[in-house]
Amino acid sequence: MSLERTDYILLGIVAALLAVDHFISGLPFLSWVFVGVVIYSLNYKKYKDTTLVEVRSWQAISTGLFIVMILIFSALGTVDDPSISLVNGLVWFAILLSIFEVIYQTIQIKKGTDDR
């Protein structure tokens, strides 16, 4: 699977959100923006002319990168308490939703069904 320009833009947006959240304080709405970007990134390939395997691959790669970026920024630490971190329930919702989507796509591929 090769990444397209849109894929890099979405990953860049997430990295920028995490950077802004961890180095600038007082922006609690960023966790909602983060969840919106994650949900969009999970679904936008479903409605393009792509196979289920490509959709699942993108969802697995993006979910893994989101988690790694959150862990890296959490390890860097900040002076303030970031809103996008592993102690935020909204971030856990986005991570669990991403994992559910990957599992769901895997089940669909094994069954040979496509509900798009």
116 falls within a domain: no
Q: For residue 26, what is the DSSP state?
A: S
Its domain, for residue 52, covers 5-111
Query: Taking the alpha carbons of 75, 80, 81, 85 in that order, is the dihedral positive or negative?
Result: negative
- Angstrom distance (rounded) from CA 21 to CA 68: 16
In a domain, 51, yes or no: yes
Q: Residue 47 domain-assigned?
A: yes
pLDDT digits (tens, 9 = 90+) for 10-33: 889 988 888 888 877 777 788 888
Rounded to the nearest 5 degrees, what angle is found at the Cα of 35, between the Cα atoms of 33 and 40? 95
Residue 65 lies in a domain: yes
| Confidence tier at 88 by pLDDT (50, 70, 90) | confident
Nearest one of 99, 90, 77, 104 to 23, comparing CA atoms: 77
Tally of domains within the chain: 1
Instruction: Tell me the mean pLDDT in the region 64-77.
Output: 85
Between 116 and 39, the more confident residue is 39
Residue 47 has pLDDT above 80, yes or no: no
Residue 7 has pLDDT above 80, yes or no: yes
- Identify the pLDDT of residue 78: 67
Residue 99 inside a domain? The answer is yes
User: Does 13 fall in a domain?
Assistant: yes
